[in-house]
């Protein structure tokens, strides 16, 4: 069922409220101690394309905004390369709180936060899910019934996979996380090329 803009906003607000008080998470105390925020996501609730990263970093946890540090600047650059604006898409992460020392999220953390992401996908009902990094790629591919097609991200990046969500067909496009391009210039070129795949869905 297609939700109105107002209904989507209210449902996202509910998720934010639950995350603020998400004491079940092992990351909750770390967040409180550091005066961090959960990072729910931001962008257009009517977006056709949804980007899903892994977990917030320090900048994100301090501002409650996803991809607002160096990786975020690169993401904006990639979006601009296909004439897309950040406000036209929706950007979030699988894990909504920052893991200590920017470490990878654990399986337990992914399992705890994933139901919030599932609800966000149901709210936005994107036609395309672009995963950023291997953790979100693995989760989304398995969640949408494509576990048998799962390989390493080096084999899957830039390719298109069609899955069935509750609201209809959705295309999954795995992409490298923008952070990898910060450390290796050739990865930036790959990421730019992979973003071209999104063009046909605009």
| Pairs from 6-9 (Cβ < 8 Å, separation ≥ 24) | 8/45, 8/46, 8/123, 8/124, 9/45
CB distance 40 to 24 below 8 Å: no
pLDDT of residue 176: 96
Q: Please report which helix (H) or strand (E) contains residue 137, including its range.
A: helix 134-143
pLDDT of residue 191: 95
pLDDT of residue 1: 76
pLDDT of residue 2: 82
What CATH number does the domain containing 127 carry? 3.40.470.10
Residue 67 region by backbone torsions, left for phi larger than 0, else alpha for psi between -120 and 50, else beta: left
pLDDT (tens place) for every residue of the chain, 202 residues total? 789 999 999 999 999 999 999 999 999 999 999 999 999 999 999 999 999 999 999 999 999 999 999 999 999 999 999 999 999 999 999 999 999 998 999 999 999 999 999 999 999 999 999 999 999 999 999 999 999 999 999 999 999 999 999 999 999 999 999 999 888 878 999 999 999 999 999 9
3-class secondary structure, 186: helix
The whole-angstrom separation of Cα 184 and Cα 113 is 30
CB distance 55 to 95 below 8 Å: yes
For residue 127, give its domain range. Answer: 5-201
pLDDT of residue 19: 98
The whole-angstrom separation of Cα 157 and Cα 52 is 14
Q: Indicate the number of domains in the chain.
A: 1
The whole-angstrom separation of Cα 148 and Cα 85 is 34
């Amino acid at each position: 069922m297609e939700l109105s803009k107002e209904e989507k906003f209210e449902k996202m607000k509910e998720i934010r409220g639950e995350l603020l008080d998400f004491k079940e998470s092992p990351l909750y105390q770390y967040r409180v101690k550091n005066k961090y925020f959960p990072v729910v996501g931001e962008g257009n609730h009517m977006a056709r394309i949804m980007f899903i990263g892994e977990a917030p970093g320090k900048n994100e946890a301090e501002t409650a905004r996803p991809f607002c540090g160096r990786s975020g600047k690169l993401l904006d650059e990639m979006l601009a390369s296909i004439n897309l604006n950040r406000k036209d898409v929706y950007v979030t992460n699988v894990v909504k709180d920052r893991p200590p020392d920017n470490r990878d999220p654990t399986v337990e953390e992914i399992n705890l936060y994933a139901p919030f992401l599932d609800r966000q996908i149901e709210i936005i009902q994107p036609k395309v899910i672009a995963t950023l990094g291997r953790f979100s790629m693995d989760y989304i591919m398995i969640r949408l019934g494509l576990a048998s097609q799962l390989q390493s991200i080096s084999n899957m990046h830039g390719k298109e996979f069609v899955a069935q969500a509750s609201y209809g067909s959705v295309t999954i496009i795995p992409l490298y996380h923008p952070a990898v391009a910060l450390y290796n210039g050739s990865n930036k070129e790959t990421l730019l090329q992979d973003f071209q795949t999104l063009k046909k869905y605009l």
